[in-house]
Structure 1
Amino acid sequence: MQGLMMQQPLLIASLLTHAERHHGGQEIVSRRVEGDIHRYRYRDLAQRARRMANALASLGIQPGERVGTLAWNGYRHMELYFAVSGAGSVLHTLNPRLHVDQLAYIIEHAQDRVVFFDLTFLPLIQSVAPRVKSPKIFVAMTDRAHMPRDLDLATTLLCYEDLVDGHSDAFDWPLLDENSASSLCYTSGTTGNPKGVLYSHRSTLLHTYAAALPDSLNCSARDVIFPVVPMFHVNAWGLPYIACMVGAKLVFPGPALDGKSLHELIEDEQVTLSTGVPTVWQGLLAHVDAIAGSFSSMQRTIIGGAPCPTAMTTVFQERHRVDVVHAWGMTELSPVGTVCSFKAHQASLPVEERYALQAKQGRPVFGIDMKIVDLDGNALPWDGAATGDLLVRGHWVTREYFGGDDTPPLRDGWFPTGDVARIDPDGFMQITDRSKDVIKSGGEWISSTDIENVAYLHPGVATAVCIAARHPKWDERPLLLIVKKPGSALAAGELLAFFDDRVARWWKPDAVVFVDSVPLGATGKILKNQLRDQFGGHYLSA
Structure 2
Amino acid sequence: MMDRPLLISDLLAHAERFHGDTEIVSRSVEGPMHRYTYRDAARRARQLANALQALGVRGGDRVGTLAWNGYRHFEIYYAVSGSGAVCHTVNPRLFAEQIAWIVNHAEDKVLMFDLTFLPLVAQLADQLSSVERFVLLADHAHLPADSGIPDLQSYEDLVGSHSDVYHWPSFDENTASSLCYTSGTTGNPKGVLYSHRSTVLHAYGSSLPDSFDISARAVVMPVVPMFHANAWGLPYSCAMNGSKLVLPGPKLDGASLLQLIQEEGVTTTIGVPTVWMQLLQHCQREQLSLSPLQRVIAGGSAVPESMIEQLAEHGVEMRQLWGMTELSPCGTTGTPKLKHAGLALAEERLLLTKQGRPIYGVDIRIVDDAGLPLPHDGVSFGNLQVRGPWVLSQYFRRELDANHSADGWFHTGDVVTIDADGFMRITDRTKDVIKSGGEWISSIDLENILVGHPAVAEAAAIAVPHPKWDERPLMVVTLKPGAKASRDELLDFYQGKIAKWWTPDDVVFVDELPHTATGKLLKMKLREQFRDHRWPNK
Kindly provide the amino acid, as one letter, of the partner of residue 299 in structure 2.
Answer: G
Q: CA deviation at 1:497?
A: 1.1
Structure 2 Cα separation of the partners of residues 206 and 112 of structure 1: 26
Q: CA deviation at 1:201?
A: 0.2
Structure 1 Cα separation of the partners of residues 527 and 116 of structure 2: 31
Query: Do the aligned partners of 1:136 and 1:156 also contact (CA within 8 Å) in 2?
Result: no
Corresponding residue SS for 1:539: coil
Kindly provide the amino acid, as one letter, of the partner of residue 29 in structure 2.
Answer: V
Corresponding residue SS for 1:311: helix
Query: Do the aligned partners of 1:467 and 1:479 also contact (CA within 8 Å) in 2?
Result: yes
Query: Do the aligned partners of 1:275 and 1:303 also contact (CA within 8 Å) in 2?
Result: yes
Structure 2 Cα separation of the partners of residues 124 and 533 of structure 1: 29
* Deviation readout 1:480-527 (Å, 9 max, x if unpaired): 011112222210111111112211121111110111111223332222
Partner of 1:126: 122
> After the TM superposition, which residues 232-311 of structure 1 pair with which residues of structure 2 at under 5 Å, given as runs?
232-311=227-306
Q: Is 2:5 aligned against 1:44? A: no
Q: CA deviation at 1:237?
A: 0.6
Q: Is 2:63 aligned against 1:95? A: no
Structure 1 Cα separation of the partners of residues 467 and 392 of structure 2: 40
> After the TM superposition, which residues 379-390 of structure 1 pair with which residues of structure 2 at under 5 Å, given as runs?
379-390=373-384
Q: Is 2:354 aligned against 1:373? A: no
Moved more, 459-468 or 28-37: 459-468
Q: Is 2:319 aligned against 1:345? A: no
2:397 to 399, 403, 417: 403
Partner of 1:171: 166
Q: CA deviation at 1:323?
A: 0.3
Kindly provide the amino acid, as one letter, of the partner of residue 109 in structure 2.
Answer: R
1:508 to 503, 511, 523: 503
Residues 529, 248 of structure 1: alpha-carbon distance in 2 compared, 3 angstrom cutoff: same
Moved more, 181-190 or 457-466: 457-466
* Deviation readout 1:251-289 (Å, 9 max, x if unpaired): 000000111111111111010000011111111111111
Kindly provide the amino acid, as one letter, of the partner of residue 362 in structure 2.
Answer: I
* Deviation readout 1:421-464 (Å, 9 max, x if unpaired): 00011110111111011011121111000001110221111111
Partner of 1:332: 326
Query: Do the aligned partners of 2:322 and 2:333 also contact (CA within 8 Å) in 1?
Result: yes
Query: Sequence identity, in percent?
Result: 57
Q: List alignment gaps of at least 5 residues for structure 1.
A: none
Partner of 2:11: 15
Q: Is 2:348 aligned against 1:354? A: yes
Partner of 1:53: 49
Kindly provide the amino acid, as one letter, of the partner of residue 75 in structure 1.
Answer: Y
Query: Do the aligned partners of 2:393 and 2:400 also contact (CA within 8 Å) in 1?
Result: no
Kindly provide the amino acid, as one letter, of the partner of residue 91 in structure 1.
Answer: C
Structure 1 Cα separation of the partners of residues 307 and 354 of structure 2: 14
Partner of 2:418: 423
Partner of 2:198: 203
Kindly provide the amino acid, as one letter, of the partner of residue 102 in structure 2.
Answer: I
> After the TM superposition, which residues 518-529 of structure 1 pair with which residues of structure 2 at under 5 Å, given as runs?
518-529=513-524
TM (norm. structure 1) is 0.97
Partner of 2:463: 468
TM (norm. structure 2) is 0.98
Structure 2 Cα separation of the partners of residues 481 and 409 of structure 1: 31
Query: Do the aligned partners of 1:470 and 1:540 also contact (CA within 8 Å) in 2?
Result: no
Query: Do the aligned partners of 2:9 and 2:168 also contact (CA within 8 Å) in 1?
Result: yes
Q: List alignment gaps of at least 5 residues for structure 2.
A: none
Query: Do the aligned partners of 2:506 and 2:536 also contact (CA within 8 Å) in 1?
Result: no
Structure 2 Cα separation of the partners of residues 512 and 393 of structure 1: 39
Q: CA deviation at 1:340?
A: 0.6
Kindly provide the amino acid, as one letter, of the partner of residue 396 in structure 1.
Answer: W
Kindly provide the amino acid, as one letter, of the partner of residue 386 in structure 1.
Answer: S
* Deviation readout 1:98-145 (Å, 9 max, x if unpaired): 111111111111000011000101121122212221112111000011
Flag as ranges the 4+ runs of structure 1 deviating above 3 A.
539-542
Q: Is 2:45 aligned against 1:31? A: no
Q: CA deviation at 1:406?
A: 6.8
2:476 to 474, 481, 486: 481
Structure 1 Cα separation of the partners of residues 123 and 531 of structure 2: 32
Kindly provide the amino acid, as one letter, of the partner of residue 379 in structure 2.
Answer: A
Query: Do the aligned partners of 1:206 and 1:396 also contact (CA within 8 Å) in 2?
Result: yes
Kindly provide the amino acid, as one letter, of the partner of residue 38 in structure 1.
Answer: H
Q: CA deviation at 1:214?
A: 0.5
Structure 1 Cα separation of the partners of residues 85 and 201 of structure 2: 19
Partner of 1:216: 211
Kindly provide the amino acid, as one letter, of the partner of residue 60 in structure 1.
Answer: G
* Deviation readout 1:287-330 (Å, 9 max, x if unpaired): 1111100022100010111000100000001x200000011000
Partner of 2:531: 536
Structure 2 Cα separation of the partners of residues 527 and 39 of structure 1: 38
Aligned length: 536
1:139 to 127, 130, 135: 135
Corresponding residue SS for 1:284: helix
Structure 2 Cα separation of the partners of residues 399 and 409 of structure 1: 9
Structure 2 Cα separation of the partners of residues 470 and 145 of structure 1: 58
Kindly provide the amino acid, as one letter, of the partner of residue 172 in structure 2.
Answer: D
Moved more, 131-140 or 242-251: 131-140
* Deviation readout 1:48-85 (Å, 9 max, x if unpaired): 00000000000000100100000000000000000000
Partner of 1:158: 153
Query: Do the aligned partners of 1:113 and 1:135 also contact (CA within 8 Å) in 2?
Result: yes
Structure 2 Cα separation of the partners of residues 152 and 453 of structure 1: 47
Moved more, 451-460 or 406-415: 406-415
Q: CA deviation at 1:408?
A: 5.5
Considering only aligned residues, what root-mean-square deviation do their CA atoms show, in Å?
1.2
Corresponding residue SS for 1:538: coil
